[in-house]
Amino acid sequence: MAIDTFLQQVVSGLATGGIYASLALALVMIYQATEIVNFAQGEMAMFSTYVAWSMLNAGVPYWAAFLGTLVLAFLGGFLIERVIVRPVEGKPVLTLVIVCIGLLVILNSLAGWIYSYVIQPFPSPFPRAPIRVGTVVFGPHDLGVIVVTLAMLGLLYAFFRYTTLGLAMRAAAQNPGSSRLCGIRVGRMLGLGWGLAALVGAVAGLLVAPVIFLEPNMMGGILIYAFAAATLGGITSPFGAVVGGFLVGVIENLAGTYIPFIGTELKLTVALLIIVVVLLVRPTGLFGHAVVRRV
Amino acid sequence: MAAILEVEDLHVAYGATRVLHGLGFTVEARGITTILGANGAGKTTTLRAVSGIVRPVGTVRFDGRRIDGRPSEDIARLGIAHVPEGRGTFVGFTVEENLRLGAYVRRDRAAVGQDLDRVYAHFPVLGERRRQAAGTLSGGEQQMLALARALMLRPRLLLLDEPSLGLAPLVVQEIFRIVRTINERDGVSVLLVEQNAALALGLADHAYLLETGRVVLAGPADEIRRNDAVRRAYLGY
């Protein structure tokens, strides 16, 4: 009956929400460190997923390919900051936007060139048989996604909160001038931030690919949901981005189920609607704060 | 006595605006040197050039080694701690996190812990507020935090930019007393920039007077204090 459907939809909303949350967190990490809205975040995740796919095809076991991909994604993000982002650091916003869009197009075409635009299935590491609790049926992949994203978010929180390196990375993002006076190598910290964001995005790509299948344009829609999540939670708040991600996932799923004319076709419109409404009503999002600048 | 910091023929320009015109001065090892001057004389720029925030033309030697043109994170790692104008604390971070950031480049974890205790002994109010966000501290407490953070680096040279700015006289006295203690007990050399000339001359052993980017007077602090022109223009009696 109704309550089963509701619970099922909430859980599956939390699962997709975890993916949005991860990608939104990657966006916020980069925005906080460099004030760049990284439009290429989705394509970076897509490319990482293809890297994992290559490894799986070569016979590497799933979790080894998973970890290997995270390492490569981290190095890739670090390299992108060094080679592409650093030369335009501090340039006008439009320059940064163009650079990110250029990166998006390059990664997209590169994936298409190497792997073709044919849609490919991507395996899930979780069992197939549905899990029944009473009359409610949960998808094992959904539950797995929730567990993996929560574990990753927990690890990230611990890293930024309790380690000296995490502290220094936050300091470099908040106050680069004073960080340098403390001897912190700010450039390196920004590179690490990009690497970490790429890693978090890669997890999102790997977890969403079994659901939406693998192809170079797979992350386009997901990135819009992630933008909705970051906007809803507040682009200045990592915590907000995570909460926003889960909220958007659940809202989208419930709206698709219970509002007849939305269905699956208009779900993406819900995300866009969230962006517009938040920007009109509360531009700082739920947990963000207005940035005050002295001029 | 040997000089820990030697500056020769220092020039700095912000775009087309030249701020320093061939400045020269030294800071003695274990000494306190002050640079006096009016607003816009180039005092802050001088400190910024030493710590590498701005790129100077000229020679800056720290402990005999050229450091001009090196990035400020490297200069900090050599043991020069700069307490900038406006304090530069990490406002969203707790007091203790600020202090841990100050010790970021150090690898001697046990000694960092001891220094943390020592800093709390110097500044009991920071100990009481160690879990509080730095942005919520009063102006005086933030200045103490900025100084304490600099000390966590275990610097050999401390650059202080207007530590008295905007603070109540009692708080200023407290901060100057601590600077003297640090200098005497730990042998930390100090380069102090101040608008409050009376205060600075009371603390320093050497003084330089800056006017529009040039040194116009230099000597032991006692002599400078007795100079008629300085007395009239900067001490006001």
Q: Are A230 and A39 in contact (CB under 8 A)?
A: no
Element counts in chain A: helices (H) and strands (E): 11, 2
Whole-number Å distance between alpha carbons of B53 and B75 = 10
Find residue A86's DSSP bridge partners.
Answer: none
Q: Are A251 and A204 in contact (CB under 8 A)?
A: no
Helical H runs in B28-90?
A: 43-50, 72-78
Q: Is B94 exposed, middle or buried (0-12, 13-18, 19+ CB in 10 A)?
A: middle
Dihedral sign computed on CA atoms, order A159, A82, B100, B96: negative
> By mean pLDDT, which of B3-12, B123-132, B218-227 is the weakest?
B218-227
Tokens representing B171 are 């708080």
pLDDT digits (tens, 9 = 90+) for A64-104: 999 999 999 999 999 999 999 999 888 888 999 999 999 99
Q: Are A19 and A193 in contact (CB under 8 A)?
A: no
Q: Are B190 and B35 in contact (CB under 8 A)?
A: no
pLDDT of residue B233: 75
Chain A partners within 8 Å of B73 (Cβ): 179-180, 183-186
CA distance, residue A80 to nearest chain B CA (Å) = 23
Computed over every residue of chain A, the mean pLDDT equals 90
Chain B partners within 8 Å of A179 (Cβ): 73, 101
Whole-number Å distance between alpha carbons of B131 and A87 = 38
Q: Given phi > 0 = left and psi -120 to 50 = alpha, else beta, which region is B22?
A: left
Task: Report whether pLDDT(B198) > 70.
Answer: yes
Subunit contact B73:A175, Cβ cutoff 8 A: no
Whole-number Å distance between alpha carbons of A258 and A262 = 8
pLDDT digits (tens, 9 = 90+) for A19-74: 999 999 999 999 988 888 999 999 999 999 999 999 999 999 999 999 999 999 99
Decide if B53 touches A, using CB distance below 8 A: yes
Q: How many CA atoms lie within 13 A of B183 on its CB side?
A: 23
Residue A214 DSSP symbol? B
Task: Report whether pLDDT(A209) > 90.
Answer: yes
Subunit contact A180:B53, Cβ cutoff 8 A: yes
ipTM of the complex: 0.90
The pTM is what? 0.87
Task: Report whether pLDDT(A265) > 80.
Answer: no
Q: Is A202 exposed, middle or buried (0-12, 13-18, 19+ CB in 10 A)?
A: buried
Tokens representing A258 are 């219970």
End-to-end CA distance of chain B: 33
pLDDT of residue A236: 85
pLDDT of residue B237: 66
Percent of chain A, pLDDT > 90? 67
pLDDT digits (tens, 9 = 90+) for B71-88: 999 999 999 999 998 778
pLDDT of residue A293: 57
pLDDT of residue B196: 86
